[in-house]
Structure 1
Amino acid sequence: MPALIALCALATACQAPDDTTPPEPSPLVAACAGDQPTGPQTIAGPDLARFVAATPLPPDVRVAGGQLAFSPQQDGLVDLSLDLCLPGTPGIDELRVVATALAHDLAAHELGERTAALSIACVCPHDPATVAVRDPAFRQHPWDGTPSPEAELLTWEIVTG
C-alpha cells in the first residue's frame, strides 16, 4: 500500500505543465480587475472604513481592501493597512505619492491619533508581485508637508514580498 501511495504522489508531481490549471487571481487582484466590488465596504474595521469613506482618493484609485489591527509593538494603538488599485502600470514612485496623500488625510483624522503603523500596497492586476510601502512609526512623522514634500516621499519603507 505505501508503494501505491508513493506511486500516486510521483504521478501527480510529474504532470505536464499543460495539465495544470492556472491559479486563480487573489480576490484583491480580482477587485482591481473589476471582477469584485471595491471601496469602504471591503475594509475590515468600522473606524478604517469610515476614514476611507470620508477620504477623497485620486482619480481612478480604488480601495480593494484594508485592515485595522491592534499594534503588537505599541499598546493602545492600531496598525492600518490598505490595498489599493492604481490606474495604469504604477510603480513604487506612484504608490508613494498616493500613500503620502493618504497619510496627510490620516494625520488630520482622529484615527491618525491612534495609528502606530501605516502600510499601503498596490494589488494591481498587471503585476503579480505586491508593491507596498510602510511607515512603521506613523505618529512620529508630521505628515503635513514638512520638512518638504520630497522628504516625505522618502519616509516610506519599501516592502517586498
Structure 2
Amino acid sequence: MASYKDLATSAGDGGEKNLAYAFSLNGVDWAATIISIGALAGLTTVVMVLLMGQNRVLFAMARDGLLPRQLAKTSDRGVPVRISIGVGVVVAFLAGIFPLKELTMLINIGTLFAFVLVSIGVVVLRKQRPDLKRGFTAPLVPLVPILSVLACGWLMFNLTL
C-alpha cells in the first residue's frame, strides 16, 4: 500500500506516519478519515479506562487506610468524587507539562512495571501461600512468570527503539 520509505519519520517533520497516512497517499481520503476517527475514539477509551482504573485503585487504598481515609468518602451515588477530582487535576497538570511522547512512554513503562510486579507476585504467593484458593492456575510456574518479567523488562528498556 505504501513504501516504508514514505512512512519513515524524520526528526522534526511534524508527526508520526500511520495507517491513515498510507490511505491518504493512495487517495483514499474517506478511509483515512474513518481510521483517524477510530484512532481518536480508541485513544479516548484507553484514557478513560486508565483514569477509572486509577480512581478505583486509589479508592481501595484510601478505604484500606493506605491513603487518608477522607479520600474514600463517596457522593450520594457512590462516586469517590475527591479522588476523581484529584486524579483529574494531576493528569491535566502532567498533560500540560510533558510532551505527549514522554507521557505515552511513562504510561507504557508503568503498565509494563505493573505486569512485572504481578509476575513476581505469582511466584512469591506460590511459595509463601500455597494454601490460597485460586480461581485459576498459571502454567509452568515459575518459568512463565520469570519469562514474563524478562520480556516486560526488555520492553521497558527498549521502548525508545
Higher helix share: 2
Q: Tell me which protein shows more strand as a share of its residues.
A: 1
Q: How does the TM-score come out when normalised to structure 1?
A: 0.26
Structure whose alpha-carbon radius of gyration is higher: 2
User: Which structure exhibits the higher relative contact order, with contacts defined as CA atoms closer than 8 Å and separated by 6 or more residues?
Assistant: 1
